[in-house]
Amino acid sequence: MIIGIDLGTTNSLAAYYDGKTARVIPNRLGEHLTPSVVSVDDDGTILVGKTALARGLRHPLTAAAVFKRSMGTDREYNLCGQKFRAEELSSFVLRSLKEDAETYLKCRVDEAVISVPAYFNDRQRKATKRAGELAGLKVERIVNEPTAAAIAHGLLDRKERSRYLIFDLGGGTFDVSILERTGKIIEVRSVAGDNFLGGENFTDVIEQLFCTRCGVDPAAITGEERANLRERAESCKISLSGASSAVMECKIGGKVKTLRLTEKMYEDACQPLFERLMRPVERSLRDAGIRVSDISEIVLVGGATKASVVRKQAARMFGRLPNIDVNPDEVVAVGAALQSAIKQRAEGIREVILTDVCPFTLGTDVVMNNGYFEEGGHFMPIIERNTVIPVSRVQTFYTVSDNQQAVRVQVLQGESRIARNNLLLGEICVPLPPKPRGEESIDVTYTYDVNSLLEIIVKVNSTGFTKKMIIRGEGNTMTEEQAQKRMEELNYLKISPREQEENKLALFRADLAYEECTGDERILLGRYIDAFEGAMHKGDKEDTDRRREELLEFLSAIGR
């Protein structure tokens, strides 16, 4: 069974194709969204999702979130003495989604199509692929998030349209894609984005406003106070999506501080973020060679687009109201599931043809004459960004020195004209017969496919000597032996059992509420907690379920 997965910065979810349409798979709590949060319990158990989020509020040093932004880097997160890379934390989220899917579908799930931000580079994409493999999934296809959204939007709504722009603002990343649809063909024309701009940044704005106006020094508060501050800022942001003002209260240093925030104050403070949103939009339009007036429809995707300030800004950018008919939280997962159906040539959508583009320019470093002397370290594009894939391009290069005996071809990805500022993917060195400068040449062929695999062939034209390399590394500096060992280590980590998830979450909620309550409420809550824990210790499932529901009802009654 193949499923589609939206591995998000803030939330993740999975979907499948049932033969007629794509459906979102509920998690073990019966919800569609699983928070992309990982925590380690006191006994070393790995917690994922809402339970990890709840534990992180009381024990912030035991939880990690927003780690998607570190995919493909060597950054490590220290949780209770255990160190994890971003792809390893992501693998726990993916494994949780895999288990939920297998339970819901009642069959084994061994393959997935996983979505990534369109502007993820080669290293980040391969780190995502490795995360899937660590979770026990075969990942043969990585699909761009805006492309997945477009697939869902275009296939679930069969109306004809010419061009549409996908405005994808998630929890931690921002992507813009322009697509053109002609009959059964969906063609990606251009992509652009910002991998460090998302809903988290809009929460940052509220947090900063609160600290500034309430005289709070973020560096002087405790970790638990910081986690609580973050939670209250997030709640305030959500409240402002449906009201003209909101009140944010937070206990700092034993005192409750209050901020009344109006939508206008919030909007003014978000102006720097709006400017950052505009840059990828302008770039995508420029790369596609079209104007805003040429766009038939603007489609908002990603949970952060539910904010009214973002929707208003999008309307100002494009001079029209954007389409908000699709569920911004679920559309990417639905599109990934449809992509898996396309991959399997499922009945009903077999006729759909999808083309994608290379999100970054691929090239090499060369020596150029700057008008005064020859200077190395310049970037020469071979496959330009937003070229339709699969694609193959050949570029001929000539020697720059007399009797040059070898040439090194660096494979680079990026947009900077300075070679060292781009991402080095690999290199090939080939021997040359000694000749006067300019008389020997090589052909360099780059071939890039839909799975983000890059093949490089370097041919010495005078001798016919050829050397080939396929770049499909795992997105980090680990050797294959190290990678295999790490996979074996992760297989033995304890993962919180599915059947304990609801109980753990209820206890975390209750413990947090107990700390905030006083008087009779606290006494009554303590009794409910004791009764619930007593039922758990006895192992009586029926009594445990009943006591849990009683506890949750009481928490709701007191507004917790």
145 classed as catalytic: yes
Q: What is the C-alpha separation between 148 and 338, in angstroms, rounded?
A: 8
Q: What is the C-alpha separation between 533 and 552, in angstroms, rounded?
A: 13
50 classed as catalytic: no
Of residues 396, 411, 489, 486, the one with CA closest to residue 453 = 411
Contact 511, 532 (CB under 8 A): no
6 classed as catalytic: yes
Residue 252, beta-bridge partner list: 255
What angle do the packed helices 271-288 and 199-214 form, to 10 degrees? Answer: 160
Residue 56, beta-bridge partner list: none
Residue 142, beta-bridge partner list: 114
Q: What is the C-alpha separation between 261 and 264, in angstroms, rounded?
A: 8
Catalytic one of 6, 225, 365, 501: 6
Catalytic one of 88, 122, 145, 502: 145
- pLDDT tens track of the chain, all 560 residues? 899 999 999 999 999 998 888 999 999 999 999 999 999 998 888 999 999 999 988 888 899 999 999 998 989 999 988 899 999 999 999 999 999 999 999 999 999 999 998 878 888 888 999 999 999 999 878 888 888 887 887 655 555 657 889 999 998 889 998 988 777 777 888 888 898 899 999 999 999 999 999 999 988 898 889 988 999 999 999 999 888 999 999 989 889 999 999 999 999 999 999 999 999 999 999 988 999 999 988 989 998 999 999 999 999 999 998 887 778 999 999 999 988 887 776 666 655 667 778 888 999 999 987 666 778 888 999 999 888 888 889 999 999 999 999 999 999 998 888 899 898 989 999 999 999 999 999 999 998 876 667 889 999 999 999 998 887 533 344 555 665 565 555 554 555 566 677 888 888 888 878 777 777 888 888 888 888 888 887 777 888 889 999 999 999 888 87
CB atoms within 10 A of CB 341: 26
Q: What's 57-106 look like in SS3?
A: HHCHHHEEECHHHHCCCCCEEEECCEEEEHHHHHHHHHHHHHHHHHHHHC
| Torsion sign (Cα): 505, 510, 511, 516 | positive
Indicate the pTM of the whole model: 0.76
Catalytic one of 88, 100, 122, 168: 168
Alpha-carbon 324 to chain mean position: 21
268 classed as catalytic: no
What angle do the packed helices 501-516 and 541-557 form, to 10 degrees? Answer: 40
